[in-house]
């Protein structure tokens, strides 16, 4: 029962925050903040509870109730280590997004926080759903509020960016819907049970050709979201035009739903087709790493620059997922988390700078270290995270990914490693252009406020923690990764945390 | 005592964190105390552990915590103390402490006082982790960590655009080497399933034959990492520019410690290099060529610090040469002695530059001998050691050992020996060119006062070390002391001599001594007796001078081949050509829309016409099919 409650909690919080605007605009902020703080506490509490290892029984919680029984659609949520990590990250970055908007958003405040909470609710749903129809539903739920966030509170070119984001995501999402429906019928015809249930659809038998086509449908949605070059071009516009909170959620969380989809659906549902596609997948990943890095180096808009670094970093996800081994997948999961944190932090810094000097053009910046040493230090930390300095979380992610990828391909791994040199070039360029050198324009900047420190310092602590002691995260997903690589073993077993959540689960078919 | 090992890197880390977090609130005195105190305490602990280690010299392993453990791969934060890391610990903490103390005087008027010590402390911590790491991944952490600190400190005076450029150049060039090393790590892991150094070395010697393909490839990849960090050919270009950093930084990072990390890496993994004779030969060749090229460049520089920078590249070339011929302990011995005298020279040069109000050009100095006696004498001692003046200097003993083994060692050959001997001559010339130009002749720039005690005391201590430290390892023709090589022997094997040359050692020592002294005389002749001659020579061969002065044109080469094309391509594609494709789709759709919109004209006859044509087309199609 806790799982649907979490989603409802966020949605209800969103509605109340919207209504509260009538009373007082700053009440909306507080409601959003408290709703997320409670949700964050919840996910942390679950994480504490799961310490005991259950072998291959990965399910911590489950909730299953028929929704549209005639079509075999269930409201089926389940939580495993991977979902749990993603949820924790969602709430953590959600809090950062709310805090960073505190003074930035002054127009239609209530509706803003409504959209923030609804997009987070959609993301939560995506990370929990075990029913493909419901998955598609949540996939859309996170799209629309994000569209509003960009088009209402974005920068100058926001309409263009919002439509572009919408069309890319929607078009690729429709391909996924086709594939979902296709899978539904293929499975239904073969077995006689028409269902959208994830566990039943696993191990569906189909001809290689069908498998390939269906996988491409899923893949389309996920690699556009991730994004993979050449489907990335919505991202720089959306990221740079969105308000800070929007960029944080986009880069930190929405991209991760693409990565999550690859791990949760593409590989387990289509192990054969995915293995066939693997060399192409890895090649696309490496292309993204290099192409994104070269483009990032040329940008003059700070947010656009950071956006292209995301393209580059997400290439590692693609490389790692299709390397098909547990080392690389551990790296991918680490990359999902650490990239969320480090890129989120860079967008927050860009937002803080924009609030102070009202420009994102790095050619007009420079020499800010003298005035804002605290911000400079934090900027330095995250620039280093972005170039993969050991001791920070991103290194662990990239190293494990490459170590795993090396087993699969030597040439591509070497090329990906070259990407690390390119990453050095663009990361150092950020630091140089913003904080070092001399300023040609006389800006006066106050250093970070207490609120901003409260956002950024925890992010620094987490990125260092993940760099020197990532073990808790790795233990949390260890079994999920083993199962992903052996999808025949994925079973909806009795969840480990609480029994009352599965009362309805009994009705559901166990193979 | 040994269980205190973790404190040695932890104390500087604590110092760095304190200074980063509370640096602005601390007074200069407190900040200086935190900076020097943390490293000083580490030095004391190193000394205590050192005594303990001398009495019980078995390796000590300390596990701090498990870093990551996933299926098939686990690695720890763990330290391994043996004779090799002991030598490095000693040099890093002691020279480090002296340089920290010197810095309290050198940086006294700088706004970034606390920030400077924060970075310096962080550097010491990373360097200590590098040499203590029991696995290659942790070593890689230290390796990149020192790279970061080097970047921060080269660009310490960040308002100058050129300092930032030098800093980024250093980071990016060394990262190229680091990437090669990382790939070496992937291969080692794939071969043996671990990155623990001791296990790797055991597995390697058991599994691989001499000359095994994997061993050769891995050794070359590790060499790639080493040449990046140690500024050897072909990745040496960053070091001369790195002189943009404050002089204590040049002394600590770009002379005594970080740039010798490559030497450490090769010595640490010497088992692999011994299994890969081709790669080991390559190490020697890199060293021999680098020491000559850099020596020639040093001859032509005007900037005092750039002379020293090229000299450092050249001296590390000697260490690589030693490693290349399997004279492991000779290489490490030269590392230690070099750390003493080169730190001394950089600190002396820094003091001169500071007292002359940031004048770097030594031809604008001159005649400082009388004005700055302490700096002069200590600098002279350091220079004598660098030039390997026979018998009284430490540099003579360390370099002579390499010269001798380059010929007489079982892997030595006459070419290596000739290169090393020629290098020794060049070293001696450029060193005393520097001494004569800076301290003799007429005074070109007025200097007010001498340096303070916080700066002169470290100079004196380093001068003493640059002299007496040589006596712990004397050739058997002359005292025969082997304290140092005996100490390292459990870790690094000794080198066998070619029997037919063994009795000729005295002869070759005499040659080395004569070469060093004649270099001094040449410098004296050209820069004191006939000071107009160098200009004449320079005019006679302008091309050669230009080539040497610019470090053999490597910068120009890399700029043309790599940097400019990269920047050009990336700027060209700033607006992302792929996006244009999607933009094209939009334009096309809009165009179609524009065309179709025109059909909706509101004129009845056009619509009727359209219906008629449509009907005819349909009928035709229906009939045809």
pLDDT tens digit sequence for A314-360: 999 999 999 989 899 999 999 999 999 999 999 999 999 998 888 88
Q: Is A63 helix (H, G, I), strand (E, B) or coil?
A: strand
Q: What percent of chain A has pLDDT over 70?
A: 95
Residue B392 confidence (pLDDT): 84
Which band of pLDDT confidence, cut at 50, 70 and 90, is reported for residue B99? very high
User: Between A326, A377, A424, which is nearest B70 by CB?
Assistant: A326
* Sequence-distant (≥ 6) Cβ neighbours of residue B525 within 8 angstroms: B533
In A152-191, the residues whose Cβ lies within 8 Å of chain B are 164
A407: closest chain B residue by CA? B190
Q: Is B59 within 8 Å of B78 (Cβ atoms)?
A: no
The distance of B160 to chain A (nearest Cα, Å) reads 6
Locate A246 and state its tokens. 């929007």
Higher pLDDT, B132 or A50: B132
In B552-611, the residues whose Cβ lies within 8 Å of chain A are 566-567, 569-571, 573-574, 576, 578-579, 581-582
Q: Is B355 within 8 Å of B449 (Cβ atoms)?
A: yes
Which band of pLDDT confidence, cut at 50, 70 and 90, is reported for residue A511? very low
> A297 touching B, CB under 8 A?
yes
Rounded to an integer, the average pLDDT of B312-339 is 91
Asked whether the beta carbons of residue B175 and residue A432 sit closer than 8 angstroms, the reply is no
> B475 touching A, CB under 8 A?
no
Residue A506 confidence (pLDDT): 39
Rounded to an integer, the average pLDDT of B163-184 is 92
Residue B615 confidence (pLDDT): 93
Residue A53 confidence (pLDDT): 54
Residue A51 confidence (pLDDT): 63
Would you say residue B145 has pLDDT above 70?
A: yes
> B391 touching A, CB under 8 A?
no
B65: closest chain A residue by CA? A469
In angstroms, the CA B216 to CA A118 distance is 57
In angstroms, the CA A75 to CA A78 distance is 10
* HEC sequence for B189-203: HHHHCCCEHHHHHHH
Would you say residue A123 has pLDDT above 90?
A: yes
pLDDT digits (tens, 9 = 90+) for B415-459: 999 999 999 999 999 999 889 888 888 877 777 677 788 888 888
> B543 touching A, CB under 8 A?
no
- Please give the model's pTM, rounded to 2 decimal places: 0.91
Which band of pLDDT confidence, cut at 50, 70 and 90, is reported for residue A507? very low
Handedness of CA A80, A85, A91, A94 (dihedral sign): negative
Would you say residue B118 has pLDDT above 80?
A: yes
Alpha helices in A270-325 (DSSP H): 271-298, 302-321
Would you say residue A379 has pLDDT above 50?
A: yes
A60-69, A458-467, B531-540: range with highest mean pLDDT: A458-467
The distance of B569 to chain A (nearest Cα, Å) reads 8
pLDDT digits (tens, 9 = 90+) for B190-231: 989 889 999 999 998 888 888 888 899 999 999 999 999 999
Asked whether the beta carbons of residue B73 and residue A327 sit closer than 8 angstroms, the reply is yes
Q: Is A384 within 8 Å of A273 (Cβ atoms)?
A: no
- Other C-beta atoms closer than 10 Å to the C-beta of B561 total 10
Which H helix or E strand runs over B77?
strand B73-81
In angstroms, the CA B418 to CA B414 distance is 6
User: Interhelix angle for B328-355 vs B83-106, to 10°?
Assistant: 0
Residue B358 confidence (pLDDT): 81
Would you say residue B23 has pLDDT above 90?
A: no
Fill in the DSSP letter of residue B361.
B
Which band of pLDDT confidence, cut at 50, 70 and 90, is reported for residue A124? very high
Locate B100 and state its tokens. 């920290």
In angstroms, the CA A125 to CA B26 distance is 50
Rounded to an integer, the average pLDDT of A393-411 is 92
Q: Measure Cα distances from A52 to A58, A229, A452, A495, B169 in Å.
A: 11, 40, 36, 13, 49
Find, among A445, A356, A456, the residue nearest to A103 by Cα: A356
Q: Which of B23, B110, B173, B186 to mutate to test the interface with A (most CBs of A within 10 A)?
A: B186
Residue A261 confidence (pLDDT): 93
Residue A152 confidence (pLDDT): 92
Asked whether the beta carbons of residue A327 and residue B70 sit closer than 8 angstroms, the reply is yes
Would you say residue B129 has pLDDT above 90?
A: yes
Find, among A83, A91, A89, the residue nearest to A35 by Cα: A91
Asked whether the beta carbons of residue A327 and residue B159 sit closer than 8 angstroms, the reply is no
Would you say residue A501 has pLDDT above 70?
A: no
The distance of A264 to chain B (nearest Cα, Å) reads 20
Would you say residue A46 has pLDDT above 90?
A: no
Find, among B296, B448, B424, the residue nearest to B368 by Cα: B448
Q: Is B252 within 8 Å of B149 (Cβ atoms)?
A: no
Q: Which residues pair with B133 in a beta bridge?
A: B79
DSSP-assigned states of every residue in B126-183: HHHHHHHBSBHHHHHHHHHHHHHHHHHHHTSSTTSHHHHHHHHHHHHHHHHHHHHHHH
If you average pLDDT over every residue of chain B, what do you get? 88
Would you say residue A502 has pLDDT above 70?
A: no
Residue B370 confidence (pLDDT): 80
Residue A47 confidence (pLDDT): 85
**Minimum mean pLDDT range among A23-37, A233-247, B114-128, B526-540:** B526-540
Asked whether the beta carbons of residue B574 and residue A436 sit closer than 8 angstroms, the reply is no
Locate B4 and state its tokens. 């205190």
Asked whether the beta carbons of residue B574 and residue A299 sit closer than 8 angstroms, the reply is yes
Residue A54 confidence (pLDDT): 56
Which H helix or E strand runs over B253?
none
* Sequence-distant (≥ 6) Cβ neighbours of residue A40 within 8 angstroms: A88, A91, A92, A94, A95
Q: Which of chain B's residues have a Cβ under 8 Å away from the Cβ of A382?
A: none
Fill in the DSSP letter of residue B409.
B
In angstroms, the CA A246 to CA B115 distance is 35
Rounded to an integer, the average pLDDT of A358-375 is 87
How far, rounded to the nearest angstrom, does the alpha carbon of residue A302 sit from its chain's CA centroid? 21
Q: Is B76 helix (H, G, I), strand (E, B) or coil?
A: strand
Residue B173 confidence (pLDDT): 92
pLDDT digits (tens, 9 = 90+) for A250-290: 999 999 999 999 999 999 999 889 999 999 999 999 999 99
In angstroms, the CA B114 to CA B109 distance is 11
Which band of pLDDT confidence, cut at 50, 70 and 90, is reported for residue B508? confident
The contacts found for A18-23 with CB under 8 angstroms, 24 or more apart, are A18/A110, A18/A111, A18/A113, A18/A114, A19/A110, A20/A110, A21/A108, A21/A109, A21/A110, A21/A111, A22/A110
Phi/psi at B588 (nearest 5 deg)?
Answer: -65, -45
Q: Which residues pair with B78 in a beta bridge?
A: B63
Find, among B139, B165, B137, the residue nearest to B151 by Cα: B165
Locate B28 and state its tokens. 């200069």
Residue A466 confidence (pLDDT): 93
Find, among A315, A303, A328, A317, the residue nearest to A238 by Cα: A303
The residue with tokens 């700055």 is: B372
* Sequence-distant (≥ 6) Cβ neighbours of residue A469 within 8 angstroms: B65, B67
Residue A490 confidence (pLDDT): 79
Which band of pLDDT confidence, cut at 50, 70 and 90, is reported for residue B620? very high
User: Between A373, A390, A414, which is nearest B141 by CB?
Assistant: A390
- Other C-beta atoms closer than 10 Å to the C-beta of B25 total 9
Residue A445 confidence (pLDDT): 84
Which band of pLDDT confidence, cut at 50, 70 and 90, is reported for residue A500? very low
**Minimum mean pLDDT range among A12-16, A459-463, B470-474:** B470-474
In angstroms, the CA B29 to CA B35 distance is 10
In A250-289, the residues whose Cβ lies within 8 Å of chain B are none
Residue A499 confidence (pLDDT): 46
In angstroms, the CA A294 to CA A317 distance is 18
Residue A508 confidence (pLDDT): 40
pLDDT digits (tens, 9 = 90+) for A171-213: 999 999 999 999 999 998 888 888 898 888 888 888 889 989 9
Q: Measure Cα distances from A476 to A47, A458, B121, B224 in Å.
A: 8, 21, 36, 37
Residue B323 confidence (pLDDT): 92
Asked whether the beta carbons of residue B190 and residue A478 sit closer than 8 angstroms, the reply is no
Which band of pLDDT confidence, cut at 50, 70 and 90, is reported for residue A122? very high
Would you say residue B51 has pLDDT above 60?
A: yes
What is the CA angle B294-B336-B490, rounded to 5?
A: 120
Would you say residue A80 has pLDDT above 70?
A: yes
pLDDT digits (tens, 9 = 90+) for B547-600: 888 888 888 888 888 888 888 888 888 888 888 888 888 899 999 999 888 888
Would you say residue B354 has pLDDT above 70?
A: yes
Would you say residue B377 has pLDDT above 60?
A: yes
User: Between B144, B158, B187, which is nearest A389 by CB?
Assistant: B144
């Amino acid at each position: 029962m806790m799982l649907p409650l979490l989603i409802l909690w966020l949605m209800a919080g969103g509605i109340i925050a919207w209504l509260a605007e009538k009373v007082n605009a700053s009440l909306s902020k507080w409601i959003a903040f408290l709703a997320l703080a409670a949700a964050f506490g919840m996910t942390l509490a679950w994480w504490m509870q799961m310490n005991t290892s259950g072998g291959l029984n990965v399910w911590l919680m489950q909730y299953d109730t028929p929704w549209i029984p005639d079509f075999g659609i269930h409201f089926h949520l389940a939580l495993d280590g991977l979902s749990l990590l993603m949820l924790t990250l969602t709430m953590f970055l959600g809090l950062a997004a709310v805090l960073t908007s505190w003074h930035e958003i002054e127009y239609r405040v209530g509706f803003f926080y409504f959209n923030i909470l609804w997009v987070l609710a959609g993301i939560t749903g995506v990370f929990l759903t075990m029913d493909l129809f419901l998955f598609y539903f949540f996939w859309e739920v996170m799209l629309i509020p994000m569209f509003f966030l960009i088009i209402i509170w974005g920068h100058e070119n926001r309409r263009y960016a919002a439509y572009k984001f919408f069309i890319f995501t929607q078009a690729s999402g429709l391909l996924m819907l086709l594939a979902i429906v296709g899978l539904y019928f293929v499975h239904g015809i073969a077995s006689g049970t028409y269902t959208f249930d994830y566990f039943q659809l696993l191990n569906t038998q189909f001809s290689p050709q069908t498998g390939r086509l269906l996988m491409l449908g899923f893949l389309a949605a996920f690699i556009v979201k991730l994004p993979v070059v050449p489907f990335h071009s919505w991202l720089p516009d959306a990221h740079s035009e969105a308000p800070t909170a929007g960029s944080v959620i986009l880069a930190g969380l929405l991209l991760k739903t693409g990565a999550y989809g690859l791990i949760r659906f593409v590989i387990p549902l289509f192990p054969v087709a995915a293995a066939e596609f693997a060399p192409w997948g890895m090649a696309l990943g490496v292309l993204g790493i290099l192409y994104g890095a070269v483009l990032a180096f040329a940008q003059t808009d700070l947010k656009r620059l950071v956006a292209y670094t995301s393209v580059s970093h997400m290439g590692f996800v693609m490389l790692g997922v299709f390397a098909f081994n547990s080392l690389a997948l551990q790296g991918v999961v680490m990359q999902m988390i650490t990239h969320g944190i480090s890129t989120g932090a860079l967008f927050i810094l860009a937002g803080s700078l924009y609030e102070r000097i009202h420009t994102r053009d790095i050619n007009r910046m420079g020499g800010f270290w003298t005035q804002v040493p605290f911000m400079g230090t934090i900027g330095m930390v995250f620039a280093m995270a972005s170039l993969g300095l050991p001791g920070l979380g991103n290194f662990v992610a990239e190293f494990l990914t490459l170590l795993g990828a090396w087993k699969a391909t030597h040439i591509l791994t070497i090329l990906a490693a070259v990407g690390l040199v390119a990453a050095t070039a663009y990361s150092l360029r950020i630091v140089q252009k913003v904080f070092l050198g001399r300023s040609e324009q006389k800006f006066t900047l106050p250093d970070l406020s207490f609120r901003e420190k409260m956002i950024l310092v925890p992010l620094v602590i987490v990125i260092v923690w993940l760099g020197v002691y990532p073990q808790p995260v790795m233990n949390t997903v260890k079994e999920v990764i083993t199962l992903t690589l052996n999808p025949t073993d994925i079973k909806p077993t009795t969840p480990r945390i609480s029994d009352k959540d599965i009362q309805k689960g009994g009705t559901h078919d166990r193979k | 005592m040994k269980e205190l090992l973790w404190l040695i890197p932890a104390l500087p880390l604590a110092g760095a964190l304190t200074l980063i977090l509370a640096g602005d609130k601390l007074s200069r005195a407190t900040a200086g105390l935190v900076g020097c105190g943390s490293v000083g305490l580490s030095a004391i602990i190193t000394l205590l552990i050192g005594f303990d280690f001398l009495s019980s010299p078995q390796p000590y392993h300390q596990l701090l915590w498990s870093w990551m453990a996933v299926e098939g791969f686990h690695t720890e934060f763990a330290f391994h103390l043996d004779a090799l890391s002991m030598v490095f610990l000693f040099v890093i903490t002691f020279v480090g402490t002296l340089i920290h103390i010197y810095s309290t005087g050198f940086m006294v008027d700088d706004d970034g006082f606390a920030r400077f010590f924060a970075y310096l402390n962080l550097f010491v911590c990373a360097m200590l982790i590098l040499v203590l790491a029991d696995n290659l991944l942790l070593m890689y952490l230290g390796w990149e960590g020192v790279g970061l600190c080097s970047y921060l400190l080269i660009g310490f005076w960040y308002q100058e655009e050129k300092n930032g450029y030098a800093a980024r150049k250093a980071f990016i060039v060394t990262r190229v080497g680091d990437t090669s090393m990382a790939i070496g790590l992937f291969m080692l892991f794939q071969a043996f399933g671990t990155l623990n150094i001791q296990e790797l070395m055991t597995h390697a010697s058991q599994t691989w034959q001499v000359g095994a393909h994997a061993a050769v490839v891995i050794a070359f990849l590790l060499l790639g990492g080493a040449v990046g960090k140690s500024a050897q050919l072909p990745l040496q270009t960053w070091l001369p520019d790195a002189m943009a950093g404050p002089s204590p930084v040049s002394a600590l990072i770009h002379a005594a410690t970080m740039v010798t990390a490559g030497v450490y890496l090769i010595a640490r993994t010497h088992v692999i290099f011994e299994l890969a004779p081709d790669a080991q030969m390559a190490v020697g060749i890199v060293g021999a060529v680098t020491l000559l090229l850099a020596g020639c460049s040093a001859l032509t520089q005007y900037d005092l610090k750039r002379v020293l920078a090229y000299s450092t590249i050249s001296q590390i070339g000697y260490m690589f040469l030693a490693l290349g011929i399997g004279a492991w302990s000779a290489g490490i011995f030269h590392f230690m002695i070099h750390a003493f005298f080169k730190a001394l020279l950089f600190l002396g040069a820094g003091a001169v530059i500071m007292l002359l109000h940031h004048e770097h050009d030594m031809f604008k100095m001159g005649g400082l001998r009388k004005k700055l006696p302490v700096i002069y004498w200590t600098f002279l001692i350091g220079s004598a050691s660098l030039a390997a003046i026979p018998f009284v200097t430490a540099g003579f003993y360390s370099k002579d050992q390499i010269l001798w083994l380059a010929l007489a060692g079982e892997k030595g050959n006459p070419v290596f020996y000739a290169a090393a001997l020629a290098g020794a001559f060049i070293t001696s010339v450029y060193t005393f060119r520097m001494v004569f130009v800076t301290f003799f002749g007429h005074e070109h720039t007025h200097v007010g006062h001498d340096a303070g005690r916080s700066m002169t005391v470290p100079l004196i201590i380093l001068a003493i070390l640059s002299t007496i430290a040589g006596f712990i390892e004397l050739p058997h023709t002359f005292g025969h002391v082997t304290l140092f090589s005996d100490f390292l022997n459990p870790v690094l094997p000794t080198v066998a001599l070619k029997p037919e040359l063994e009795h000729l050692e005295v002869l070759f020592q005499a040659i080395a001594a004569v070469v060093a002294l004649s270099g001094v005389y040449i410098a004296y002749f050209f820069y004191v007796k006939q000071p107009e001659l160098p200009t004449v020579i320079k005019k006679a061969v302008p091309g050669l001078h230009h080539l040497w002065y610019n470090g053999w044109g490597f910068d120009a080469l890399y700029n043309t081949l790599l940097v400019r094309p990269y920047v050009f391509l990336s700027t060209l594609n700033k607006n992302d050509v792929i996006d244009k494709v999607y933009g094209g789709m939009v334009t096309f759709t809009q165009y179609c829309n524009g065309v179709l919109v025109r059909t909706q004209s509101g004129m009845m006859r056009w619509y009727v016409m359209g219906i008629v044509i449509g009907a005819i087309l349909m009928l035709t199609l229906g009939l045809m099919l």
